[in-house]
Amino acid sequence: MPRTRGRAPTGGRADALSREIIVDAAIALLDELGERGLTFRLLAKQLNTGPGALYWHVTNKDELVALAADQVLGDALAAAPHSEEGAGTALRALAIAVFDALDRHPWAASHVDAPATLANALRLLDRIGTLVERTGLPAERHFEVATAISYYITGVSAQIIAPCTTVGASTSRDAFLAQTAERWEELDPADYPFLTRTTADLRSHNDRDQFTTGLDLLLDGLNTIADPRPPA
């Protein structure tokens, strides 16, 4: 990793490259064009260089996208209020901050792997774990519960957000939902009894509420275990 920070610290040309400049530009392109639209040639042109120059700062495209996704996640962690009253409330706020960040950068959703490569994914898991320890859960369950929550946050966010990426940045979410709702209506009620009965909910549903519904279900389950059956 080159030690460049900010712009041209030691006095090189004003537009000298650096890892963060490249990653920032990559994020902008990813937001606009999606993962397939990000090209080393295009990125190089934006930065007034040749493709080869980028490889001095970044190993390959995989690493570049990983760095970009990591930064998105890092921004989310920074935005999430760090200490809060109850552990449950804090977990909820943290989860929503991550969801919102991924919602703004849909391409990143499929790249935040829970207990793995991204530095900020580790930070996320650690913060979740620290909060779980505060719930009064028996210590031997801390790990499994913390990872379950972490998996839920990143995994379900990705599921909810990914469809937009697939269609390309072109189609809006509303259009996409309307379109799927139409497909649901054409289904045979004999084969899809539930879905055909439920089209209205699909149309009116909200992604963010969707996310929090499951999250609350999960946290409710956690409470059931933490302090089993408090008096009514």
**Positions that interact with DNA (CB under 7 A):** 2, 4, 12, 16-17, 38-42, 48-53, 55-57, 60-62
CB of 41 to DNA, least distance (A): 5
Nearer to a second copy, 4 or 180 (CB): 180
DSSP, collapsed to helix, strand or coil, labels residue 39 as coil
Task: Assess contact for 199 and 185: CB atoms under 8 A.
Answer: yes
Residue number with CB closer to a second copy (6 or 230): 230
Q: CB of residue 126 vs a second copy: minimum separation in angstroms?
A: 5
Choose from DNA, a second copy, none: what does 40 bind? Cβ within 5-8 Å by kind.
DNA
The count of other CB atoms within 10 Å of the CB of residue 155 is: 14
Q: 154 and 98 in contact (C-beta within 8 Å)?
A: yes
Q: Which does 213 bind (CB under 5 to 8 A by kind): a second copy, DNA, none?
A: a second copy
Nearer to a second copy, 21 or 74 (CB): 74
Token readout for 67 is: 């760095």
Task: For residue 226, give both structure tokens.
Answer: 């933490």
Side chain identity at 106, as an amino acid letter? P
Q: Residue 51 or 136: which CB sits closer to DNA?
A: 51
* Beta strand residue intervals within 73-164, DSSP E: none
Minimum distance of DNA from residue 14's CB (angstroms): 11
**Neighbour tally for 189: CB within 10 Å:** 10
- Of residues 54 and 97, the one with the C-beta less far from DNA: 54
Contact residues toward a second copy (CB under 8 A) are 110, 113-117, 122-123, 125-130, 133, 142-149, 151-152, 154-160, 162-163, 166, 180, 184, 187, 191-195, 198, 201-202, 205, 209-210, 213-214, 216-225, 229, 232
Contacts of 6 (CB under 8 A, 6+ apart): 18, 20
- Rounded CA gap, 88 and 64, in Å? 35
